[in-house]
Chains A and B, each alone.
Chain A
Amino acid sequence: MHPRVLILQATGTNRDGDAAYAIELAGGTPVTLHVNQLRAHPELLQQFQMLLLPGGFSYGDALGAGRLLAADMRWLFQEPLAAFVAAGKPVLGICNGFQALVKSGWLPGPPDGALRATLTRNVSNRFECRWVRLDPNSSSPCVFTRGLTEPITCPVAHGEGRFVPRDETTLAELTAAGQVAVTYATAGGSPPTYPANPNGSTADIAGICNAEGTVFGLMPHPEDHVLPEQHPRWARGERGHLGLALFEQGVRYAAGL
């Protein structure tokens, strides 16, 4: 009933608590383990119904955001992770977790070829923390956004969130396959120039999933908008567009496995 969700923490991960809180609210049972604990017992992974890679600065983002955690995933957990994904279990990477999924090749996937995209320094060359609006793509196979009709508002907080596909073909393929699961948007529907698109991402891409829709990553932090008073304008009476919806979809999917 309450799927067990592994929150995988590396040294420097810092939004693990926020993610665990969101999972719990969404009806899952979060369990936080450090990479070193999973490394000692890789078989533990299969006891979970969902994997969540939370935000932060794994290994200080030395050598680039998420790169060393990506190296861990490739060198330490490739096999158990492949089995986990092959079983159709959902994987969610947020911010630094998204960076690690992209830089290890799991997103957009497949993970065995050359990298098809990256997340690099914001065009502003700055870390920026601000609230954004995300539109879910109704034709995406993503199990976290499937069925969502409302936009999500939540903060971004990153310096390296600019999504760059390897080339035009890759972008066209991702778009055609519905792998662009969430995009930056404006309330009025006008094109999301800066700061609505806070980092200069190609095609306003905020998050993508793999072809199957089970592995999903995004730069913004839906886990920091799961309660009404987290909204920046709740004192003005604004409500709704909670990021919690993403977690509820993911947990529901995991519970049905």
Chain B
Amino acid sequence: MSETFRVEVYWHGGVDGRVTDLLDQIAPLGIEGVKGARVSNLYFIRGDLASDDVERIAWALLTDPVVEGYLWTRVLDHATGAAADSVVEVGFHPGVTDPVATHLLRRARLLGIEGLQAVTTATRYQFDGDLSRADLDRLARELLCNTVIQSYTLGELQPAFVPDAAPSDAVDIVPIRDLTGDQLRALSTDRVLFLSLPEMQAIQSEFRAAGRDPTDIELEILAQTWSEHCLHKTFKAAIDFHREGGMPRVGPGAPAVTPNRETVPSLIGGYLRAATERLARPWVRSAFVDNAGIIDFDDTYEVSFKAETHNHPSALEPFGGANTGVGGVIRDIIGVSAKPIANTDVLCFGPLDLDADRVPGGSLHPRRIARGVVAGIEDYGNKMGIPTVSGAILYDEDYVANPLVYCGCVGIAPKGLHCNAPRPGDRIVALGGRTGRDGIHGATFSSAELTHDTGTTVGSVVQIGDPITEKAVLDAILQARDEGLYTAITDCGAGGFSSAVGEMGKDVGVDVELQHIPLKYPGLRPWEIWLSEAQERMVIAVPESNLARLAEICATYDVEWTVIGFFSGDGTLRIRYGGTIVADMPMDFVHEGWPRLTLSAVWTPPTVPDPQFPASLDLEAVLLRALAHPDVASKEDVIRRYDHEVQGATVVKPLVGLLDDGPSDAAVLRPLMTGGPRGLALGCGINPHYGQLDPYAMAWAAVDEALRNVVAVGADPERVALLDNFCWGNPALPDRLGGLVRAAQGCHDAALAYGTPFISGKDSLNNEFVDAQGVKRTIPPTLLISSLGMVDDVRTCVTMDLKQAGDAVYLVGETRAELGGSLLHRLFGGLSGTPPAPVPDAPESLRALHRAIGQSLVRAVHDLSEGGLAVAGAEMALAGHLGLALDLTAAPRGAISPSLGSNGVDTDTVLLFSESSARFLVEVAPEAGPAFEAVLAGQPCARVGTVTPDQRLRITGVEAAVLIDLPVELLAAAWRSTEVV
């Protein structure tokens, strides 16, 4: 007889960190009555179980007897849980990934308990204090429970298990051949296909020609394959571009005259891939064709790099969205047969201290999003054993409804082992996680704008990851790779098997039997099985003769694997359910049948607010505010939650300096297996505020910063590869698309000037949000450039912290009056002004600086970015716990008018806070000074200061006035004062 039992595991081990943490999180909600809390784990176990079985499970598996105790009771079916005062219990919706439950089921069998049938887990929060039901309800909704994946009860939770369901073979024929345009549009909307009318018409004519109507699974396959997310239609479309102002294009890649009107053949082909092709770097092994870009590491190894975004899911379920974002990009690296060796994460959130009434209905508060996202990244990266070493976090009110979560991953592999050419007859093997109803329509949903009720209508798109399943898959795949067992590999990401198998078999044809695909629970319809975006799944093509060995490897690593079909050789996508054909389309139509678009775009310089400066600026106060701004402030609280040491390769860490607390420009890894001194440096450049002025300037600045990050620690500027990741608004709106064209042009021109090829890229469009009042909000155009640079010998690397009193400090690069989009202007409520201009001859300075680093002439290098010279100098001082005296008189500079527009900012202020590109601060030992100056000869470079033992930052202006004179301790306190997660 099947019964359900409730086991509560309670804490008796003294201080409970969960409670401290919980009370900290409750504090900003303003619920006064909470005096204390207790947290317990709940396990609902169902099955044919004797009391003794329940006792053994609770004792042997669920409880740590030193710090925990347990209670168990029978749960009566259909009863409502007992009411209890001040209690909230939170459990997952049935079907949400719950690895604890899965492990418990397996272990009970090992214990010899055969009767356990189902498990679900939950958490109990018992509060002390005077709390109304309304208070508890608020606690549940705003903190304890995300109703997208969980449900809660005030009092005892009634467990919900996945209901039993019969297998489903239901396939609808969708009559399409006789529909009018309006009906086609309605069909696309009703079925959540997000296909345009021309696309629906292309499908209609294909099936008219075939003399039949499509099945639901065929329509879903086309919607997925043709989705913006999978096809990148905008980046492949021809664009009629009209430019109404803005700076002309510059550099060796720019046309002699920047036209006002042009037709762009495509953003990828015309700019991004075009730059890589024109540069033709011999060390680029694969760009824009595989799951990740691949370059040479040395003669033996290659490294791969990829960055993705997971924005929409993270807006709805921050933990799960970021968690699966990390899992997804790791699979991209596994998908090029590489071992992941580093994760990178760049995040854009709303301000954490935002008033609750400024959060639009349907959105979560930025604090909750930030916490969930960081926890999701931590969970996946740490459990996979991949160090998270590089990233950035930006905060702006424009990201409240559309947070951005960029997840990157770097891999390494011996050369010559990756292959991607399935042969007819090879078996299609699915490895890893089972398929469930999770993530249905993810590809199409991520191509749509969010609305205030997206969370409820497409809740199924959001999932939680299971990193240990992916770790097992990784171990098995690397073994299979080394033994040459597969002929092709790819991951299941957006679009699930439909995308993975469809892509892999596009030149060969596939024949798949859906009934062979292992399911988490029965009841999925055939199209759901094929489109599910359940996590932790890989697909490989395996010759039949290798299946037996693959089986052994999978058994060793606890990986589930299944043959789900074969590569047919007939160029057809054929899918069966129980033998019956449910989809049968030519691969040519699936992949090439989409109607090409010609889009129109226009770019006009935007009108942005002016900063409102007081009559006189207190520069010391401004610097302290700049250091405390969350974009600049210490991210140590986040960085320490990520394991940045695992794999033993991290030789320049994300935090550096005397007390390991300064902000490193880039991380450097020396993978242990390579055995040599060579390493790779990881950095990034991002500044959406320049993009709000001119995306062309933003792109140059981002490329420049990403490159300077890695050069600052010691990477060779001639050996840097880049990734482009665009997060943008709706490309159907010509102004949004116009900015995108400008940004792509900037990427192209900067890449050619710096000699840095793009090896992979990705776009996330439609980051717009329509709130309950119908008001549309878009994100600022946000381009992330990630950089991967080679370091010939990591023992020459330098860090950004000041090392020694008495050393000279040089400023490399020219400062110009470029305060548009700067932190200074933002601190005073404005954006206007000139954004940092391209510096086409910057590569010469970079090469010279690199030579100086290689000759061990420098002790510290730091790149100048947000907050300019003032912030960079302060950071070097606080990281080194040393003083710094700077004199602006000698600073290399371009034209700086004494009075800038209506703002009246003087030359000193410009020199302190301008964000001109291509600049570094460099610490040089006195005895190395002449040699350093000789290597930098001909470059804009001048000595501007001295490291001092007095623990003060002292800056004097061009008229010899003391502008800033502050203790380093005070700077450090400001820099650490801000909540960043």
Contact = CB atoms under 8 A, between A and B. Distances in A.
A239 interface: no
A155 B107 CA distance: 32
A128 B640 contact: yes
B385 A56 contact: yes
A128 to B, nearest CB: 5
B556 A12 contact: no
A146 to B, nearest CB: 25
B64 A103 contact: yes
Interface in A105-136: 114-118, 120-131
Interface string B59-82: 011101111000000000000000
Interface stretch (A79-87, A172-180, A221-229, A248-256): A221-229
A117 B65 CA distance: 9
Interface string B937-949: 0000000000000
A200 to B, nearest CB: 7
B972 to A, nearest CB: 16
B367 to A, nearest CB: 16
Interface stretch (A45-53, A60-68, A137-145, A208-216): A60-68
A230 B383 contact: no
A227 B239 CA distance: 54
A236 B803 contact: yes
Nearest to A159: B382
Contacts of A34: 556-557
B64 A64 contact: yes
Interface string B14-53: 1111101100000000000000000000000000000000
A129 B18 contact: no
Contact of A63 (B14, B104, B655, B660): B104
B971 interface: no
Interface stretch (B304-312, B700-708, B794-802): B794-802
A123 B62 CA distance: 21
A166 to B, nearest CB: 5
Interface size class of A (residues with CB under 8 A): 35 or more
Nearest to A16: B385
A1 interface: no
A183 B643 CA distance: 22
Contact of B100 (A17, A62, A127, A234): A62
Nearest to A12: B468
B103 interface: yes
A229 B110 CA distance: 45
B320 interface: no
Contact of B64 (A56, A120, A124, A155): A120
Interface stretch (B570-578, B591-599, B609-617, B645-653): B645-653
B648 A18 contact: yes
B678 to A, nearest CB: 12
Interface string A18-40: 10010000000000001011000
Interface in B389-419: none
Interface residues of B, number: 65
B468 A37 contact: no
A88 to B, nearest CB: 28
B65 A114 contact: yes
Contacts of B62: 63
Contacts of B672: 17-18, 21
B398 to A, nearest CB: 29
A171 interface: no
B644 interface: yes
Nearest to A165: B66
Contact of B646 (A18, A64, A114, A229): A18
Interface in B2-21: 13-18, 20-21
A203 interface: no
B740 to A, nearest CB: 38
Contacts of A235: 652, 656, 797-799
B455 to A, nearest CB: 27
A171 to B, nearest CB: 12
B384 interface: yes
A226 B60 CA distance: 38
B20 A123 contact: yes
B20 A129 contact: no
B471 interface: yes
26 contacts: A11-B471, A18-B647, A21-B672, A36-B558, A56-B385, A60-B99, A60-B383, A63-B62, A63-B103, A63-B104, A71-B61, A118-B65, A120-B13, A120-B67, A121-B18, A127-B378, A127-B641, A157-B382, A164-B67, A221-B645, A223-B648, A226-B648, A230-B645, A230-B651, A234-B651, A235-B798
Rank and list the top 7 A-B pairs by shortest CB-CB distance, nearest first: A14-B385, A125-B17, A60-B468, A118-B66, A62-B103, A125-B21, A12-B468
Interface of A: 11-12, 14-15, 17-18, 21, 34, 36-37, 55-57, 59-64, 67-68, 71, 75, 103, 114-118, 120-131, 155, 157, 164-166, 200, 221, 223-224, 226-227, 229-230, 232-236
Given A115-B65, A130-B660, 16 more contacts: A11-B558, A14-B383, A17-B648, A60-B466, A63-B100, A68-B103, A103-B64, A114-B65, A123-B20, A127-B382, A127-B643, A129-B642, A224-B646, A229-B795, A230-B648, A232-B655
